Structure 1
């Protein structure tokens, strides 16, 4: 279903990415002023001849876009005082058995803004740079924050998001999964594993989160409206403001990306930003390795979601250029 011809540039942008990636299906959903403007689907769930067509209930593996849900759990823990401050050292919350001298000086803020400087190599945690001085995208920060949240709140990430969002707001197409039906896409290019990173672990710390494009857009609308749904405040607005406000430490290198709590936030046009040059300040975005993208532009009352079932990037594909072009296409369509 395509409801508007206003967004021709962004439709063309998604179509071009769909043709470029090693994928079999794609989706695009755009809301403006809380009204659905575009809902469009491409292709099938897999390369099989009898594969199901991508449609409104198709569930995509969203990879690192799941960090927007992790961000909610972090902001929830901060708002309710389970975590006192973003600037608390992580050693404050980890038990003796998980203490590591390398963690000293590393704060919650460092974990959630990718400025922690930690990396796991050959099963051992090592330090790449002093916490707060640079930026690197590593998975260890999610592993650590998941432990901290569970210890501090006595709930897992998945339990927090389910209790506060999924159940009361009737999100029925979003969750961490380890069993699948025909509404799930295959992740193309990840051989020997039909559903990439399909962990048996459902606590929210792993990469096995799937959602439909339409429900990912609904998640974006909840952020755009600061926890209000259909004119009713259903979740405290401060939780969303915490997650999507600029939170990273000041870097000496102005080219480094800018982050809220995991979200990429547009405050300046940093050279390594994943948000397009034409997108105004105050916008925030989350991108996954499957190229799934959720972009929220508050000043334009826009939520834009694109989804694909690709695994990583083909040779010659510049993911930063491509995802910036997505946001820029939205803005071009608003002129």
Structure 2
């Protein structure tokens, strides 16, 4: 008897009805077999909007950082970056050097422990590197510059050549133009945030993917770089990206990160991974509430996707995303096959 994953379906549907969005998707693989493929709603709130379907592309928001993580791990594996404990100044052009960057390492950038904030056009330090955790975008801008300087290639070039082409992914990328297959991010006011950018070098927030291809990205991690029986990516690269690299924080409540990925180690109050999800799992979450969760011990890959701009009033995104992972574990743990 197979697992129905009905609780997972209900979890995603409840989130769909809670968020300010018009569409949702759920893809779930168990033991490398697709168990759930379900779509809700439409791609926008316009009249006669296209229904959410297999090729619908969702805005990944911060989920794009899982691909940026790959580019960093690729650069380290191939020796372009010698160590994650190297100071970032070693990999920045002279005109990009700043005194405030002193003491900040690659490790600090990829684990959100760098302490930088970019305010009024200036970099300031809000805490000493490695002593605290803060989720800010400045690290991605610096990582993009470091990758370019170290490898002479941009993030998108690396990911396209090393991942998208070998896997034949055609519904995932940084896009400068949108067509009828893209879900519109629903927000109260139209603004410049997340508008289409002509810059597709991998440093911008204009990345989209279909839920099914985002799940393929998760499967690649689950299977240590193998796809259809072929080793397409060195397993060491993916392991490097999804192993905990966070420094030893003074408080045990701060999240544990690999290269941007949240990784389940010990229980952390500010982690986005559910309490029932076992150690070794890793997850990435975007502002649009798109989520990819990989649970290696259970051979689970799960993607939920929405086209929401952030969280409505009263919505606890941490509680919601934790319940997504926990609903999966309840089904797997208490299924007749377990």
Asked whether the two chains share a fold, i.e. TM above 0.5, the reply is yes
Return the offset for 1:190.
Answer: 5.5
Which of 191, 203, 216 is the equivalent residue of 2:189? Answer: 191
Return the offset for 1:95.
Answer: 1.5
Corresponding residue number in structure 2 for 1:122: 120
TM-score, length of structure 2 as denominator length:
0.97
2:4 is aligned with 1:15: no
Deviations 1:207-233 (A, max 9, x none): 100000000000000011110111211
Q: Is the 8 A contact 1:44 1:51 kept in 2?
A: yes
Which of 311, 314, 320 is the equivalent residue of 1:313? Answer: 311
Corresponding residue number in structure 2 for 1:220: 218
Q: Distance in 2 between matches of 1:320 and 1:235?
A: 32
2:41 is aligned with 1:62: no
Report SS of the residue matched to 1:69: helix
Return the offset for 1:96.
Answer: 1.4
**What is the number of residues matched between the two proteins?**
332
- After superposition, the CA RMSD in angstroms is 1.1
4+ residue stretches of structure 1 with deviation over 3 A? none
Corresponding residue number in structure 2 for 1:240: 238
Deviations 1:46-105 (A, max 9, x none): 011200000000000010000000000000000000000000000111121111100000
Report SS of the residue matched to 1:251: coil
Report SS of the residue matched to 1:260: coil
Q: Is the 8 A contact 2:57 2:171 kept in 1?
A: yes
Corresponding residue number in structure 2 for 1:80: 78
Return the offset for 1:148.
Answer: 0.3
2:259 is aligned with 1:261: yes
TM-score, length of structure 1 as denominator length:
0.97
Which of 32, 35, 38 is the equivalent residue of 1:34? Answer: 32
Q: Is the 8 A contact 2:22 2:44 kept in 1?
A: yes
Q: Is the 8 A contact 1:187 1:195 kept in 2?
A: no
Which of 164, 167, 171 is the equivalent residue of 2:165? Answer: 167
Structure 2 residue ranges without an equivalent (≥5):
none
Report SS of the residue matched to 1:175: strand
Corresponding residue number in structure 2 for 1:150: 148
Q: Distance in 1 between matches of 2:254 and 2:35?
A: 33
